[in-house]
Amino acid sequence: MRRFLVIGRTGVGKSSFINSAVGAKLAKTSPFEPCTATVERIAYGTAFGDVCLIDSPGLAEGDRSLDDDYMKSVKREVKIQELDSCLYLSRLNEHRLGGDERRVLNAITSHLGPAIWAKTWLVLTFAASLPSEIRLEAARNRVEQIEGYLRGIIPAPPGFKSFQTKMLVDNVTRNWMEGGAPLAQILVSHP
């Protein structure tokens, strides 16, 4: 069974992503307020195979010390070696890499170690909120913002080049892009 740690700023849709992936409302979600305060493991049998998704409290919900507390609880509950991948979630429809997002990238790097990024997939949420004609361009910009920042903060070795796997998802709108694949299928079988 593949194991994924789902991590990112508060409100980007981590719990909703998990529900989208397993096709059931297993993680508690809230449209306007933080609702995941502890690390939660959700193991689920999908039509494509079993998958374990580990939900984590949203970062940048409060001050830096709260981020530190949350990251310590992640480290306590999750062994990095047991993970197949880490899923870093970020909103597609943000114009710039905000200060809070940079702070989140810093916190993950310092608590989980820079090597975590080599096994991290980038998941851009709220994808359907942008019109299809600008979506890929916006996604390229967003990927470049995040990758560019990580290259700046992670000296070699290990350094950082780019994300091996990048995904666009939307947890609310269905069938928003042609040629999309079910999330569970990607999580179970993507190399």
Partner 1 sequence: MVTEPRDGASFGEKAREYLDAFKRKLEKAQKEKFVFLVVGRTGVGKSSTVNTLVGKQVAPVGDWEPTTFEVRPYHSDAGGVRFTIFDTPGLCDSLEEAGNDEGYLALMRSEVPVFDCLWFVTRLDETRVTGDEKRGIRLVSDSFGKKVWEHAVIVFTWAGAYDSSKYPVALKKRTELIRAEIEKYTGNSIAQEIPSVAVDNKTHLTPDGREWLAELYTKVFTRMSERGLLSFLVATASRIDAPPGSGASSYAGYSSTHASASEGPRIKLNTEQAREVKRRINAAVIPSAAVTGAAIGAVFGPAGIAIGGAIGAAIGLFAWFRD
Quick one: which of 45, 62, 113, 155 contacts partner 1 (CB under 8 A)?
62
Quick one: which of 97, 115, 153, 186 contacts partner 1 (CB under 8 A)?
97
Give least dist CB 52 to partner 1, A. 25
Give which of 97, 175, 121 is closest to 3, Cα–Cα.
121
83 versus 88: smaller Cβ distance to partner 1: 88
Residue 153 near partner 1 by CB under 8 A: no
Binding map of partner 1 across residues 20-59, x = CB under 8 A, - = no contact: -----------xxxx-----------------------x-
Give least dist CB 3 to partner 1, A. 26
8 versus 114: smaller Cβ distance to partner 1: 8
User: What length does the chain have?
Assistant: 191
CA atoms of 36 and 10, how far apart (whole Å):
9
Quick one: which of 60, 89, 92, 187 contacts partner 1 (CB under 8 A)?
60
Note whether 68 and 19 are within 8 A (CB): no
Give least dist CB 1 to partner 1, A. 30
Quick one: which of 1, 37, 43, 66 contacts partner 1 (CB under 8 A)?
66
Kindly report whether the peptide bond that precedes residue 114 is cis, defined as omega within 30 degrees of 0: no
Of 11-19, 38-46, 71-79, 157-165, which segment contacts partner 1 by CB under 8 A? 11-19
CA atoms of 112 and 4, how far apart (whole Å):
14
DSSP string, 18-72: HHHHHTS--S---SSS----S-EEEEEEETTEEEEEEE-PPBSSS-HHHHHHHHH
CA atoms of 27 and 167, how far apart (whole Å):
21
Which residues form the interface with partner 1 (CB under 8 A)?
A: 9-13, 31-34, 58, 60-64, 66, 93-100, 102-103, 129
